[in-house]
Amino acid sequence: MNRPTLRLAALVAFSGLTAGLALGPIPVFAEVPGSKPKVGATIFPLYDIARQVAGPVADVVLILPPGASPHTFEPTPAAVRSLSGARTLFAIGHGLDDWAARLARGAGVPRLVRVDADIALRHETEGQRDSVDPHYWLSIRNGEAIARTVAAELERLVPDRAVDIRGALAAYLARLDATDREIRRRLDGLPTRRIATFHDAFGYFADVYGLEIAAVFEPYPGREPGPKFVVAFQQKVRATGVRVVFSEPQLSVDAIRPIARDLGVAISTLDPLGGTPGREGYIETMLFNAGQVAAALGGRAP
């Protein structure tokens, strides 16, 4: 086959992928000896867990820019290009980053791995609708399960580096275990354990660390609540004696500021994603959240 024909075949193949064809059989990649495979991760916590486990074995790229919300993100051509040549895209699933499948198809990534294996997922019921709470990484124990899933996939991609991957996993699991103990220390002995949140993202965090989410302001991320929901939120806050509402850096809090002022409650911040100064890793983000809760509710200092 001559060079013009080869170029034409490549263009046809790329246009077919970007047209959104379903993921087909995993192609066989001819790895250059000594080269590292590329993998992607949809959100920062998943990206950081993956890079901690991958170490020098694989290159990890992040799709969602820090400060953006996965609920409203639309993949860009730059995101597609960043995944060029990637072997796997790690995703959360369950409605949080469902754009990942479309992105994987567009970039020609042969494998999409949802990282919820061995995790007890929270189910939310509203009327006749049952859905899964997708924010499962907001528990250190679930973070450990995610790390194991990532390690298993990396071993599949680079079986000759299994010893290195398992060593990195063991070291990271030890750090996560220490982080879990520190979070529990910071949240021990709180005079109250009731909080209100702007967005229903911290159910796993609350369940694991013994907090009670008494009220949630925004029922759907990025969509302001209607008048009835606002009234119900105010009633719950007053009835339960909540003193603080936790917002999120990725979402606008303009709608809740006057309501919090009328209720006489403070506004603080919890960050489900991180990736910003002071929260440059998954562990740092989880410790930040524990510190924010402790500070707002009168708990222990770091």
Same fold for the pair 36-182 and 189-297: yes
Residue of 89, 183, 93, 99 lying closest to 133 (CA atoms): 93
* Token pair in block for residue 179: 């982080």
Helix (H, G, I), strand (E, B) or coil at 240: helix
Q: How far is 123 from 268, CA to CA, in rounded Å? A: 27
Backbone angles phi, psi at 235, to 5 degrees: -65, -40
Cα radius of gyration (the chain)? 21
* Confidence (pLDDT) at 13: 36
DSSP label at residue 244: E
* Confidence (pLDDT) at 131: 87
pLDDT (tens, 9 = 90+) of the chain, 302 residues, equals 443 433 333 333 333 333 332 343 333 334 444 579 999 999 999 999 999 999 999 999 999 998 888 988 999 999 999 999 999 999 999 999 999 999 999 999 999 999 999 999 998 766 556 789 999 999 999 999 999 999 999 999 999 999 999 999 999 999 999 999 999 999 999 999 999 998 889 999 999 999 999 999 877 666 677 888 899 999 999 999 999 999 999 877 888 899 999 999 999 999 999 999 999 999 999 999 999 999 999 866 66
User: Edge-to-edge strand order for the sheet containing 212-218?
Assistant: 212-218, 194-199, 244-247, 266-269
Q: How far is 86 from 27, CA to CA, in rounded Å? A: 12
- Beta bridge mates, 40: 61, 89
Pick the CATH number of 189-297 from 1.20.120.790, 3.40.50.1980, 2.60.40.1180, 3.40.640.10: 3.40.50.1980
* Confidence (pLDDT) at 34: 55
Residue of 202, 150, 204, 156 lying closest to 172 (CA atoms): 150
* Domain boundaries of the chain, sorted by first residue: 36-182, 189-297
Distances 192 to 5, 14, 66, 243, 272 between C-alpha atoms, Å: 71, 57, 32, 9, 22
CB 259 within 8 Å of CB 234? yes
- Looking at the structure, give the CATH architecture of the domain made up of residues 36-182: 3-Layer(aba) Sandwich (3.40)
* Confidence (pLDDT) at 260: 92
